[in-house]
């Protein structure tokens, strides 16, 4: 239909009204209606607050968790768990996918351990089965006969629950929001925070937004606001040519809008200098979970080589495991395991032999490898292909399409992608691999907004939940922190009046938002987006130094001056894409400024400075914070364990008791 060689004449199918203002008021304004935002909305509404949820997409299915969930992590308080929240905190110190050691945040880690299971029970009340209510897994190793809860990974210690019906958690949340009378503003991109007197650092009194179908302007006035727009994604890697926005692992709507607007409003950010090798986002991968594998959703599937030779699993200490059942048990002398060989060695789980790469390279194991589902015990097989692959995000289409194409896990072994030997065992097989300059904002541990035991940012009136915080985490983390933030924001809203909005600030934002629709030609959003990614790859890649970072900042300044002001939008959808480029420019600046501020390399943060090559010198074992004050960058710091130091209590339980408002 769309024909780019001729002047388009077909009209946009929605009624467009650029500049028309819609005013919405809320006690609790939730910016980002994903998992964290929806759990926040439920709990704020239950406390009597007038709640408004705003999302760039349709809340019924939006967000990284909107397409489903299979694992519910850190459900320490479930009746079958042998690990208390305090015990988990002791060994893990921090929790979140791929995030560990001191740079994680103990506050949200503890909240997750305390409330993850409660959030799952909330979902059960909303109609998600959770348990094996249809008795499809009676007698299975991973099922508790009394509660019918099903567990993943460590079947002895049982802190991670497999979620029956997890495919539809978002639909259940959406229906609950409607039942509670929450006002849902779908397809509105939040573009800025409004502050008292329009001042950077002032109390947050609302937000602005633009409808991505009609182009209408939204002005939200709030007593309390919660930012829950997740961690930035797609900052280093962008291409729609090869596989669409599927190439971004997280929700492609997660451009980092929340982080950028918090920065513009003067909030403190942390860990923005942290990034990881682009494992989750890249061009040359396969559909997530859609190849044979042995990690997370596929744990612990038997893997065989091209000749049917089985590749052994070992426990944490390298002992070969003889049975499938052994793969779901801790090693002798090990208290419990989480998953994979990540984090502290105490919690490493079973995995394939660690020297698999060498043994492929020397010909001992022949490629390609296959996931031997037929060789798995029947209930484990059905759990992987049927429960996990179906309910996990973006997996219902995998299950449906592959089964329709004749794939039968009772008979068939799904192939792992063919890769150079040294890529095996590094992560999920479907991710494959990419060039070193393709990085990402550390899934589950990326930079974001600084917060306290109230999940309050450094700005009055602004709370944070989910992966929007610095060092965010899993689906369960989003749910747990969401419900906590919802309570806190509702509590604050009861104590304050609506904040006055500043018309000058609103007008300035309207001018910025609509500038692209005044133009019909210039740089297209895709070119701008890819160009920004190129700057990140070159000047903010794996290896950094002061001159390089400053060149990167200058590139962004130059793009802001030259190409960006020519970006055009021919309809509200394109306008959203252009505005996302604005966000990416701001995120680029924040990352580079944060990188300049940390004058030491860090193994923990995967942060390499050519001009400060010493890894983790003790004087840099701290959180570096960064914010804008009068448009100038201010660098600060926090002790790694600031949340257990004055003014807080020295223990997690006491702080939780003081702040959680249960």
Partner 1 sequence: MSEKALLVANPPSACKAIIFDADVCTSCLTCVDVCRTDVLIPNPQKGEPPIVLYPDECWFCGCCVDHCPCPGAIRMEHPLSQRAGWKRKETGELFRIGMKNPPLPNTKPPVC
> Is residue 290 near partner 1 by the rule CB under 8 A?
yes
- The single-letter DSSP state of residue 310 is B
Interaction of residue 331 with partner 1, rule CB under 8 A: no
In the complex with partner 1, the residue whose CB is nearer, 270 or 414, is: 414
Among 408, 527, 629, 654, interactor with partner 1 by CB under 8 A: 408
Minimum CB distance to partner 1, residue 127 (Å)? 12
* By CB under 8 A, residue 374 contacts partner 1: yes
Smallest distance, partner 1 to C-beta of residue 499, A: 31
Question: Binding of partner 1 at residue 511 (CB under 8 A)?
Answer: no
Helices 257-265, 572-597: crossing angle, 10 deg rounding: 60
For the record, the structure tokens of 493 come out as 């809203």
Helix (H) or strand (E) holding 641: none
Of the candidate residues 118, 412, 606, 637, the single one contacting partner 1 (CB under 8 A):
412
Size of the site for partner 1 (CB under 8 A): 77
Whether cis (ω within 30° of 0) applies to the bond prior to 191 is no
- From the CB of 37, what's the least distance to partner 1, in Å? 14
Scan residues 66-85 and list those touching partner 1 (CB under 8 A).
66-67
Residues 232-271 binding partner 1 (CB under 8 A) are 240-246, 248, 251-253
- Name every residue whose Cβ is closer than 8 Å to that of residue 360 and which is 6 or more positions away in sequence: 367, 421, 424
Q: Which of residues 168-187 bind partner 1 (CB under 8 A)?
A: 168, 187
Among 24, 31, 37, 57, binds partner 1 (CB under 8 A): 57
Question: What distance in Å separates the CA atoms of residue 579 and residue 561, rounded to the nearest whole number?
Answer: 16
Nearest Cα neighbor of 589 from 651, 632, 620 is: 632
Q: Which of 414, 523, 528, 575 touches partner 1 by CB under 8 A? A: 414
Window contacting partner 1 (CB under 8 A); options: 202-210, 391-399, 559-567, 637-645: 391-399
Q: Is 375 in the site for partner 1 (CB under 8 A)?
A: yes
**325 vs 415 by CB, closer to partner 1:** 415
CB of 601: closest distance to partner 1 in angstroms?
35
Distance CA(533)–CA(409), nearest Å, equals: 40
Judged by CB under 8 A, which of 370, 451, 555, 656 binds partner 1?
370
Nearer to partner 1, 1 or 520 (CB): 1
Q: Which residue has the tokens 């991973």?
A: 142
Q: How many CB atoms lie within 10 A of CB 199?
A: 13
Residue 397 touching partner 1 (CB under 8 A):
yes
CA atoms of 91 and 89, how far apart (whole Å) = 6
Q: Is 367 in the site for partner 1 (CB under 8 A)?
A: no
The length of the chain, given as a count of residues: 662
Told to check if 60 binds partner 1 by CB under 8 A, we report yes
Q: What is the CA radius of gyration of the chain?
A: 24
- 434: contact with partner 1 by CB under 8 A: no
Measured in degrees and rounded to the nearest 5, phi and psi for residue 27 equal: -70, -50
Structure tokens at 546: 């002061």
Pick the closer one to partner 1 by CB: 395 or 548. Answer: 395
- Residue 165 binding partner 1, by CB under 8 A: yes
**133 in contact with partner 1 (CB under 8 A):** no
Q: Which residues are within 8 A (CB) of 657 and not within 5 positions of it... i.e. 6 or more apart?
A: none
Q: Considering the complex, state which of residue 248 and residue 506 has its C-beta at the smaller distance from partner 1.
A: 248
Is 545 a binding residue for partner 1 by CB under 8 A? The answer is no
Q: Select 47 or 382, whichever has its Cβ closest to partner 1.
A: 382
Nearer residue to partner 1 within complex by CB, 240 or 657: 240
For residue 92, what are the contacts with CB-CB under 8 A and spacing of at least 6? 100, 109, 338, 343, 344, 347
Q: How near is the Cβ of 536 to partner 1 at its closest, in Å?
A: 21
CA of residue 547 relative to chain centroid, distance: 31
Neighbours of 359 (CB within 10 A): 15
SS3 assignment, position 211: strand
The gap between the terminal CA atoms of the chain, to the nearest Å, is: 55
Question: 572: which 2 tokens?
Answer: 């509200």
Does residue 3 interact with partner 1 by CB under 8 A?
Answer: yes
Q: 106 or 292, CB closer to partner 1?
A: 292
Nearer to partner 1, 168 or 627 (CB): 168
Residue number, 71 or 382, with CB nearest to partner 1 = 382
Taking the C-alpha atoms of residue 493 and residue 507, their distance in angstroms, rounded to an integer, is 26
- Asked whether position 501 contacts partner 1 by CB under 8 A, the answer is no
**For partner 1, which residue of 25, 46, 58, 636 counts as binding (CB under 8 A)?**
58
State which H helix or E strand residue 46 sits in: helix 35-46
Q: Which of residues 561-580 bind partner 1 (CB under 8 A)?
A: 573
Smaller CB separation from partner 1, 231 or 640: 231
Does 15 help bind partner 1 (rule: CB under 8 A)? no
Bridge partners (DSSP) listed for residue 88: none
Q: Report d(CA 20, CA 50) in Å as an integer.
A: 24
Tell me how far, at minimum, the Cβ of 15 lies from partner 1, in Å: 12
Angle at 281 between CA 547 and CA 594, to 5 degrees: 30
Residue 590 near residue 634 (C-beta atoms within 8 A): no
Least distance from partner 1 to the Cβ atom of residue 137, Å: 8
Q: 268 with 625: CB under 8 angstroms?
A: yes
Q: For the beta carbon of residue 662, count every other beta carbon within 10 angstroms.
A: 10
CA 174-180-183 angle, 5° bins = 70
* Rounded Cα distance, 88 and 94, in Å: 9
Site string for partner 1, 193-212 (x = CB under 8 A): -------------------x
When the beta carbons of 459 and 528 are compared against partner 1, the nearer one is 528
Smallest distance, Å, CB 2 to partner 1? 7
Establish if 382 lies at the interface with partner 1 (CB under 8 A).
yes
Tell me if 405 contacts partner 1 by CB under 8 A.
yes
Of 80-88, 282-290, 459-467, 500-508, the window that binds partner 1 (rule: CB under 8 A) is: 282-290
Q: Are 131 and 147 in contact (CB under 8 A)?
A: yes
Distance CA 398, CA 409 (A): 13
In the complex with partner 1, which residue's Cβ is closer, 3 or 619? 3
The answer to whether 500 contacts partner 1 (rule: CB under 8 A) is: no
Distances from the Cα of 107 to the Cα of 63, 91, 653, angstroms: 23, 15, 10
Among 13, 139, 181, 333, binds partner 1 (CB under 8 A): 13
What tokens does 314 get? Answer: 């070992």
Q: 129 or 203, CB closer to partner 1?
A: 129
Least separation in angstroms between residue 527's CB and partner 1 is 14
Q: In DSSP terms, which residues pair with 602 in a beta bridge?
A: 607
Indicate the residue among 119 and 414 with the shorter CB distance to partner 1. 414
Chosen residue from 332, 406, 646, 647 binding partner 1 by CB under 8 A: 406
Q: In whole angstroms, what is the distance from residue 233 CA to residue 331 CA?
A: 36
């Amino acid at each position: 239909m769309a024909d780019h060689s001729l002047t388009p004449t077909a009209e946009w199918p929605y009624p467009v009204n650029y500049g028309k203002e819609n005013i919405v008021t809320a006690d609790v304004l939730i910016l980002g209606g994903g998992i964290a935002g929806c759990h926040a909305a439920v709990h704020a509404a239950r406390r009597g607050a007038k709640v408004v949820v705003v999302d760039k997409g349709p809340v019924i299915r939006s967000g990284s968790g909107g397409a489903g969930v299979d694992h519910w992590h850190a459900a320490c308080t479930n009746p079958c768990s042998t690990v208390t929240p305090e015990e988990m905190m002791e060994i893990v110190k921090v929790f979140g996918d791929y995030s560990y050691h001191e740079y994680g945040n103990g506050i949200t880690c503890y909240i997750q351990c305390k409330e993850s299971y409660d959030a799952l029970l909330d979902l059960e009340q909303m109609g998600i089965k959770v348990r094996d209510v249809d008795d499809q897994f009676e007698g299975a190793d991973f099922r508790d006969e009394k509660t019918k809860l099903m567990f993943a990974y460590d079947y002895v210690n049982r802190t991670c629950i497999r979620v029956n019906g997890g495919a539809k958690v978002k639909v259940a949340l959406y229906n609950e929001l409607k039942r509670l009378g929450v006002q849902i503003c779908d397809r509105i991109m939040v573009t800025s925070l409004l502050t008292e007197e329009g001042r950077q650092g002032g109390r947050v009194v609302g937000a602005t937004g633009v409808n991505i179908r009609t182009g209408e302007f939204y002005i939200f006035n709030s007593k309390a606001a919660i930012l829950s727009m997740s961690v930035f994604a797609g900052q280093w890697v962008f291409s729609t040519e090869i596989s669409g926005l599927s190439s971004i692992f997280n929700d492609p709507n997660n451009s980092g809008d929340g982080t950028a607007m918090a920065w513009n409003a003067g909030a403190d950010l942390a860990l923005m200098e942290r990034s990881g090798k682009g494992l989750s986002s890249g061009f040359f991968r396969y559909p997530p979970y859609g190849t044979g594998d042995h990690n997370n959703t596929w744990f612990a599937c038997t893997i065989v080589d091209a000749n049917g030779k089985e590749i052994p699993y070992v426990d944490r200490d390298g002992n070969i495991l003889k049975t499938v059942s052994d793969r779901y048990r801790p090693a002798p002398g090990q208290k419990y395991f989480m998953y994979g060989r990540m984090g502290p060695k105490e919690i490493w789980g079973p995995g394939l032999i660690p020297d698999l790469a060498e043994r492929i390279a020397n010909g001992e194991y022949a490629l390609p490898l296959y996931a031997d589902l037929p060789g798995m015990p029947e209930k484990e097989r059905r759990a992987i292909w049927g429960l996990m692959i179906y309910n996990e995000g973006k997996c219902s289409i995998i299950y449906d399409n592959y089964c329709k194409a004749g794939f039968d896990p009772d008979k068939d072994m799904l192939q792992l992608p063919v890769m150079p030997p040294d890529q095996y065992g590094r992560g999920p097989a479907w991710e494959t691999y990419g060039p070193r300059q393709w990085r990402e904002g550390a899934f589950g541990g990326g930079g974001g907004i600084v917060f306290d035991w109230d999940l309050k940012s450094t700005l009055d009136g602004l709370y944070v939940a989910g992966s929007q915080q610095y060092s965010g985490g899993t689906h369960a983390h989003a749910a747990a922190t969401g419900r906590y933030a919802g309570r806190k924001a509702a509590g604050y809203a009861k104590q304050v009046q609506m904040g006055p909005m500043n018309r000058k600030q609103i007008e300035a934002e309207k001018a910025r938002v609509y500038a692209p629709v005044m133009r019909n030609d210039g740089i297209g959003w895709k070119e701008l987006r890819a160009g920004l990614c190129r700057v990140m790859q070159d000047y903010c890649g794996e290896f950094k130094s002061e001159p390089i970072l400053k060149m990167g900042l200058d590139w962004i300044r130059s793009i802001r001056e030259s190409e960006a002001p020519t970006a055009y939008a021919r309809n509200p959808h394109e306008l959203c894409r252009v505005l996302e480029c604005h966000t990416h420019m701001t995120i680029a600046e924040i990352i580079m400024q944060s990188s300049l501020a940390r004058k030491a390399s860090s193994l923990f943060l995967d942060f390499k400075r050519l001009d400060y090559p010493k890894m983790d010198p003790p004087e840099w074992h701290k959180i570096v914070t960064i914010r804008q004050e009068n448009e100038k960058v201010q660098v600060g710091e926090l002790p790694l364990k600031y949340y257990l130091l004055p003014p807080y209590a020295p223990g997690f339980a006491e702080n939780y008791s003081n702040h959680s408002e249960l």
